[in-house]
Amino acid sequence: MNGAYRSGLTQGRAGRKAVDANLSAFAGAVPIRALRDRALREASILSRSTLAQIAGIADGAGRPFSLLLAYNLFRESVAADGCTVMGAVGSASASGRTVFMKNSDQLGNDSMVGANFHEHKEIYVVQATTADNGRNIVGLSAAGATGIKVGVNDAGVAAGSNIARTTELKDRRVDVSKVRASDRTQLLREGLEEDTALAASQRILAKTMHAPTSTPGNMQFADAGECWILETSYDRYATEVVRDGIFWRANSFKVLSALNDPDDASSIARYEQCCKLLEAAASGGGVTFDELTEFSADHVNGPNLESVCRHADDYRQETSLGAGVIEIDPDRPPESRIALALGKPCRAWRNPESRIDLTADAKADDLPAAFVDGSAWRLSYSEQPFEGELVEQR
């Protein structure tokens, strides 16, 4: 039994109800029979260790392998990630260590109903897995998914991503029933099998050029020395490397900025606020790990869709469902820190039952059950902004 399969088996057993809920929502929103058949034909787009992990989840949750495979290949068509990413490398970091943050934002869906859901949103969990090459990966994920929303490996590589709201996105959407498309969270998971940010970026850019993602977007890979940012659209690609300074992305491009939707007020507001927060921190002694958790919960411009911690009254809007903050240890990469907030960042960072602090060498068997079965997420996901004492969401 290889490490990826064993990790998936643990993940599937512990989170069976949450996995069932996410699978049911997905199956209700797509032509599931056709996609299950297609997933089997196109399974080779995923790495061997990812396929082994999917098989483990399927066996652990007692669900068909082809259904889990389709969910992992095509879930982005139902629940694309929005998100905000920021961080610092070199002298811009207070510790001199690379620090990295991502808020994971997502749309709700009418199909996400029932006892195992909360407010029509996809259920988030913590994932720890071991790839075939022995590389350990820890991060935030959706229940039943192998893809990573934000994570780190034991070589000291961090990863995150976000969709880009472009003018072409309005006019051209990839039909997943017809066109082969890559999922950004799966690409992050595969990139985290590599030993450096550069190697991860080279591997994933090549894959994206072969099979574009269904929506334009950014992917970020950072290690102790640099952060590589990939901007990928349907037919255009760009990279930026930061070796000493701050970096950030909302749901827009920087290098390919000509493609951005000028009417996307949320991305503009969050992009400008991230810049202000990071520049102030960098000039005031450097960006810290703890400051990034505070920035993750920032409500300037809101709290609403234009704040970093995003809120909305309508569940069909793209709001924050979780977050991760990482600090890379250059001398002992397996001891790199990752803190994960499951639920609304303004609430989850303050709730010890929804926040977990781990190192990059954490194993699936070490994770508390609440962070794998979805219950930690339910405690702190609410569109009601945090004010004063926490009221537990039970």
pLDDT per residue rounded down to tens, the chain (394 residues): 688 999 999 999 999 999 998 898 888 888 899 999 999 998 988 889 999 999 999 999 999 999 999 999 888 766 667 799 999 999 999 999 999 999 999 887 666 555 555 567 889 999 999 998 999 999 999 999 999 999 999 999 999 999 999 998 777 654 544 555 578 999 999 999 999 999 999 999 999 998 888 889 999 999 999 999 999 998 899 999 999 999 999 999 999 999 999 999 999 999 999 999 999 999 999 999 999 999 999 999 999 999 999 999 988 788 999 999 999 999 999 999 999 999 999 999 999 999 999 999 999 999 999 999 999 999 999 999 987 644 333 2
Paired tokens of 301: 């411009």
User: Distance between CA 98 and CA 174 in Å, rounded?
Assistant: 35
The alpha-carbon radius of gyration of the chain (Å, integer) is 19
> Is residue 11 within 8 Å of 46, Cβ to Cβ?
no
Q: How many CA atoms lie within 13 A of 50 on its CB side?
A: 25
Rounded distance, CA 281 to CA 162, Å? 23
CB 216 within 8 A of CB 254: no
Rounded to whole angstroms, how far apart are CA atoms 80 and 105? 9
And the tokens for 277? Answer: 């927060």
- What H or E segment, with its residue span, contains residue 382? none
**Token pair of 257 as six digits:** 């900025």
Are 137 and 153 contacting, i.e. CB atoms less than 8 angstroms apart?
yes
Q: State the CB neighbour count (10 A cutoff) for residue 33.
A: 11
Give the domains, in start order, of the chain with CATH numbers.
80-380 (3.60.60.10)
Strands (E), the chain: 84-89, 99-106, 124-130, 136-142, 150-153, 158-163, 217-222, 227-232, 237-242, 245-249, 319-327, 337-342, 355-359
